[in-house]
Amino acid sequence: MLKYRPALPSDARMIVDLHVSMSQNTYAHILPEAYLKDVLPAEKQELWQTRCAVLPSPDHLIIIACDGTEIAGFCCFVFNEETEFGTYLHNLYVSPVFQGKGVAKTLLREALSTFENWRKDLPVHLVAFAKNIPATAVYDRLGGSVIERREVTRAGNPGVELVRYQWPTAHDLLDKLAA
């Protein structure tokens, strides 16, 4: 049985491993192989070591789903980035073994339910690769509106199209997750 809880500093390694493996598989048709193999692992190691160093944090909320001592998935809301669009869902990853079983929805519900009331009144947004059809299909089913499309280049890689999804409030996303 899965347990959902806020991340602990000791969870950083599991989060990095899942983030890297999922990114390498999911984005293989989107991002260059050399980037995924040689650059991405160090980027994610630095990101999660920093984020998990001090938990809980006023800057972000990380919720994980655990199956015993293994991580089944995680989500991370960042409170101080791109605030003009509302609260930023920066990461949502579920291990392939647990996909299609409601883990992502439960992670989001668990996280959103901890928001203070004023934060629940704000929009929620995320950015996804336009070519990540499985993810964009989920966000479409959850009633997210595409409010922005843009091409970005990172680390000298070819440009990729990103889409920004937004929900009017966290309450609206919670309602869609409950439906």
pLDDT at 154: 75
Instruction: Say how far apart CA 110 and CA 3 lie, in whole Å.
Output: 11
pTM of the model as a whole: 0.95
pLDDT at 44: 97
What's the CATH fold of domain 3-178?
Aminopeptidase (3.40.630)
pLDDT at 153: 87
Q: What is the DSSP string of the chain?
A: --EEEE--GGGHHHHHHHHHHHHHHHTTTTS-HHIIIIIHHHHHHHHHHHHHHSSS-SSEEEEEEEETTEEEEEEEEESSSSGGGSEEEEEEEE-GGGTTTTHHHHHHHHHHHTS-HHHHTS-EEEEEETT-HHHHHHHHHTT-EEEEEEEE--TTPPPEEEEEEEES-HHHHHHHHH-
pLDDT at 156: 76
Per-residue pLDDT of the chain (179 residues; tens, 9 = 90+): 899 999 999 999 999 999 999 999 999 999 999 999 999 999 999 999 999 999 999 999 999 999 999 999 999 999 999 999 999 999 999 999 999 999 999 999 999 999 999 999 999 999 999 999 999 999 999 999 999 999 998 777 789 999 999 999 999 999 999 98
